[in-house]
Amino acid sequence: MKFWRAAFIALLAVNLLVVIGFVFYITIPAEDHVGYQAEKRAFAQGNTLTVRTSKADFEGIANSYIRDAMKDQPIPLTLSVENDVALSTELQVFSMSLPILLKFEPHVQEDGNLLLEQKSVNVGMLDIPPESALKLLRDSVSLPEFMEVNPASEEVLLRLTDIPLDDGISVRAEAFNLEEDDIRLRVTFTQ
C-alpha cells in the first residue's frame, strides 16, 4: 500500500511540475522582446503640416498599411476606430475559426507614437485574461514591424514614426480624441 501511495504522490508531483513549467513557458516573453519606453529623440526637421482626420479616415489609412505590411500572412488583422480602438482577427484552432476582438484606449506618446491600453478582450465565447489574449495575438500573428505587443502591461504600441513611408516623410500623432472625432497627425517632409 505504501508503494502505491508513494507512486501516486510522485505522479502527482510530476504532473504539477509539468503544469507549472507550461505556465512559465507561455508567460515568459521571447528573448528578442523589448518593452516599450518612449524615446527622447529629435523630431524630423523639414517642412511640416498638421493633418486633421476623422476616425473613419484614420481607420482606412491604418488598415491599408496593416494590409500592406501583412500581405503574405494568411491571418487577417483589422483595426477599427469608434468609441475606442479595436483590433480584430481570427485564429484557426483545431479546424475552427476563433474570433478575437481586443479593445483599447489610445494615448499619444511624447515621441508621436500611439500607445493602446487594453480595455477588454473577447475570444469567441471564452473568458480569458487580457494578458493571455495579447500573448496569443503576439505569438500567433506575424504583426507588422510598427506594431509592438506588450502582454505584461496589456498594451499595444503603434509606432507611427516607424511606418514605412516614402523617403523623407515621417508621421507622428499630435492628438487622438475619439469623443470629439479629432485625430491630428504631424507629417514632416525632409527633402
Q: What is the pTM of this model?
A: 0.66
3-class state of residue 170 by DSSP: strand
Among 55, 165, 183, 178, smallest CA distance to 112 is for: 183
Least confident of 64-68, 98-102, 163-167: 163-167
Q: What is the pLDDT of residues 83-141, one digit of tens each?
A: 888 888 777 667 777 777 888 888 888 888 888 888 887 777 666 777 777 777 777 77
- The chain-wide mean pLDDT, for the chain, equals 77
Q: State the cell numbers at 18.
A: 509539468
Query: Which helix H or strand E contains 78, and what residues bound it?
Result: strand 77-81
Q: State the cell numbers at 15.
A: 504532473
By the 8 A CB rule, do 118 and 134 touch?
yes
Question: Which pLDDT score, from 0 to 100, does residue 128 have?
Answer: 72
Question: Which pLDDT score, from 0 to 100, does residue 181 have?
Answer: 81
Work out the pLDDT band at 38, boundaries 50, 70, 90: very low
Mean pLDDT on 178-184: 83
Is the confidence at residue 42, as pLDDT, over 70? Answer: no
Instruction: Give percent above pLDDT 70 in the chain.
Output: 80
Q: When comparing pLDDT for 180 and 164, which is higher?
A: 180
Work out the pLDDT band at 156, boundaries 50, 70, 90: confident
Neighbour count for residue 71 (Cβ, 10 Å): 7
Is the confidence at residue 68, as pLDDT, over 70? Answer: yes
Is the confidence at residue 40, as pLDDT, over 60? Answer: no
